[in-house]
Amino acid sequence: MAKGMEPLKKILVVDDDPELRQLLSTYLNKHGYNTTMAANAVDLEAQIMRFSPDLVVLDRMMPGREGMAACRALREQGEDVPVILLTAKDEAVDRIMGLESGADDYLGKPFDPRELLARIEAVLRRKAGPSALKPQGPYHFGPFVFDADARQLSREGELIKLTGGEIDLLGVLIHHAGKPLSRERLLMLTRDDVGDRTDRTIDIAVSRLRRLIEDDLKSPRWVQTVWGVGYRFVP
């Protein structure tokens, strides 16, 4: 990639129809996307962690694991990657169910690839707004101010010394405020290409962060544990 050029947006196409998968992959690649394919949603969470797509095109009816259920599971885990559901059904009730499962859009088969492309671009534009990759400007919570651009946290004007990993973790938690994030998801979002990091790494970072920002470690106010899932920042 030439210097100064932005990396291609990555699209994960999940559909059990090999011809449709290849058609969509070829079409999207032709229009400037980096596309990868999967035949089912059985290990969708692992596919997302491995490929880190900007958007998922997900078929609703597939053997092994139904697309709507897979989408709902992603949202319950705190995964907010945009999802467009594809389905042979295009009735209003099915569209409503798809959106209620956490999908960002819903497209009935058969469809023109140009319409899917338009919907992908529309969803990505929405995601590129104020809720994009990092908080916009300084973020205030209680007596604290977190500046993502400067990578600083202060309390009533006094800087708090944080490690790079703790800054990354706090930034991710604040960006996903209110959403429970699994340890695996936090590892993926804060990764720095260090191969020996584990779930325990996140627990240790959370513990250190809490000692710096929480008044009561037994009952955290800002970074709360979601049992069976991971952690959540509560604004």
In a domain, 200, yes or no: yes
CA 179 to CA 156: how far, in whole Å? 27
In a domain, 205, yes or no: yes
- The pTM for the full model equals 0.56
pLDDT (0 to 100) of residue 202: 85
Q: Which residues of the chain have pLDDT under 70?
A: 1-6, 89-99, 128-137, 191-199
In a domain, 1, yes or no: no
Query: Which two three-digit tokens encode residue 66?
Result: 């139904």
In a domain, 4, yes or no: no
pLDDT (0 to 100) of residue 93: 58
Structurally, how many domains does the chain consist of?
Answer: 2
Q: Are residues 74 and 177 in the same domain?
A: no
Answer yes or no: are the C-beta atoms of 206 and 168 closer than 8 Å: no
Q: Are residues 71 and 150 in the same domain?
A: no
Q: Are residues 100 and 58 in the same domain?
A: yes
Q: How many CA atoms lie within 13 A of 176 on its CB side?
A: 25
pLDDT (0 to 100) of residue 91: 59
In a domain, 110, yes or no: yes
Q: Are residues 73 and 161 in the same domain?
A: no
pLDDT (0 to 100) of residue 204: 87
What is the domain extent for residue 99? 9-127
pLDDT (0 to 100) of residue 1: 45
Domain-terminating residue out of 95, 127, 159:
127
Which domain CATH number covers 70?
3.40.50.2300
Domain-terminating residue out of 76, 95, 127:
127
CA 69 to CA 235: how far, in whole Å? 29
For the stretch 220-227, contacts whose Cβ atoms lie closer than 8 Å and that sit 24 or more positions apart, written own/partner, are 221/142, 222/141, 222/142, 223/173, 226/180
Q: Are residues 100 and 192 in the same domain?
A: no
pLDDT (0 to 100) of residue 98: 63
Which domain CATH number covers 159?
1.10.10.10
CA 71 to CA 33: how far, in whole Å? 22
Domain-terminating residue out of 127, 151, 178:
127
* Alpha helices, H only, the chain: 18-30, 44-51, 67-76, 92-100, 113-127, 164-175, 183-189, 199-213
pLDDT (0 to 100) of residue 215: 93
